[in-house]
Homo-oligomer: A and B are copies of this chain.
Amino acid sequence: MNKTILLDKRPVGLPKVSDFKLSTEPDPVMSEGQILLKAAYVSVDPYLRGRMNDTQSYIPPFELQEPIVSGMIAEVVASGNTRFKEGDFVSGLLAWKEQQLSEGEGLMKVDSKKAPLSAYLGVLGMTGLTAYFGLMEIGKPKKGETLVVSGAAGAVGSVVGQIGKILGLRVVGIAGTDEKTALLKNTFGFDEAINYNTCTDMSRALAAACPEGIDVYFDNVGGRISDAVLFHINNFARMVICGAISVYNETSMPKSISVHTFLIRKRALMQGFIVFDYAHKYPEALAQLIQWYQEGKLRSAETVREGFETLPQAFIDLFAGKNQGKMIVKI
């Protein structure tokens, strides 16, 4: 029997393991043109929380009693499709099943010789592309400017900060533990890092870390951290709104400081985006990311859990910030 993980109940607030159901189904039987995939690495991402609500968004909500779908690296274990052969590894949006069938649509082959397979979920996957497009297309960073990244030790944030350094910016990261801030400075080369859990005055900490103000803010968290940033933005600042993990589990409409007067006074911009909007530019961006990776300028940060059954807990742990870099489950 084939294992799968279904959405059993729509979470209220912070998801619980009991919102998911480990289930089994008959082993898949391949038809012509199909490939049989075996899950190798599964990506768990904060944005999945949105799909667990029954609300309209940029992708439809998950159905109850249907498997969760997320980014995955899978091995082709049998192929009836000329595009793929046994032993290939592919990356794509796939169901939380140990094995599954596919016609190959939307799958991309990944090369384990260029980088470890898990990197294709992180720095060389949607995570890296999200960091790249948000920073480049909306942040429009210029050498010498100051970039602040929230959720900086997370999957996207750690890549954003590294790209910022490659481009010659002053990079300040905000994260939730001393272990993470040390990682940002020592491993990823951030200029400064602020621990929002121990810092008693975020506004003062930002002022100290950003003596010339903030030109680009890459926002993964929303909430009070982003409120504090507003007081330190420079004229013509760009605020890239990538995520708002601090409010994803709110059950009432979250409130913030009103951004309007800040935006006017500083002629500043806030813009949300979704990586899919830049699909037409994936190849060039990926080529750049792979080049930086191979040159050793871009490091992959991963927290790897093991075992199919750990998927729900790994996902839930994102909201407690238990990951450093990309949270991945190795099957």
* Chain A contact residues, CB within 8 Å of chain B: 50, 57-58, 219, 222-223, 226, 235, 241-244, 247-248, 253-274, 277
Contacts and interface: CB of A to CB of B under 8 A. Distances in A.
A260 B58 contact: no
Given A58-B267, A266-B272, A222 B255 contact: no
A106 to B, nearest CB: 20
A255 B253 CA distance: 12
A270 B261 contact: no
9 contacts: A50-B265, A223-B258, A253-B258, A255-B257, A263-B270, A267-B277, A269-B269, A269-B270, A271-B271
B260 A219 contact: yes
Nearest to A265: B57
A212 to B, nearest CB: 15
Closest CB pairs A-B (n = 3): A263-B272, A264-B272, A222-B260
Given A258-B256, A260-B241, A270-B271, A265 B222 contact: no
Contacts of A254: 257-258, 261
Contacts of A266: 58, 272
A248 B258 CA distance: 12
A241 B222 contact: no
A128 to B, nearest CB: 18
A57 to B, nearest CB: 5
Contacts of A58: 235, 265-267
Nearest to A47: B264
Number of copies: 2
A260 B261 CA distance: 16
A296 to B, nearest CB: 32
A4 to B, nearest CB: 28
Given A265-B272, A268-B272, A270-B271, A253 B260 contact: no
A50 B265 CA distance: 10
B255 A258 contact: yes
Nearest to A255: B255
Given A58-B265, A256-B257, 10 more contacts: A58-B235, A226-B260, A244-B264, A247-B260, A247-B261, A254-B257, A256-B258, A264-B274, A266-B272, A269-B269
Contacts of A264: 241-244, 272-274
Nearest to A262: B272
A273 B222 CA distance: 23
A245 to B, nearest CB: 10
B244 A258 contact: yes
Nearest to A138: B269
Nearest to A274: B267
Nearest to A238: B271
A242 B157 CA distance: 31
A25 to B, nearest CB: 32
A57 B260 CA distance: 14
Contacts of A272: 260, 262-269
A221 to B, nearest CB: 9
Contacts of A242: 264
A6 to B, nearest CB: 25
A266 B235 CA distance: 25
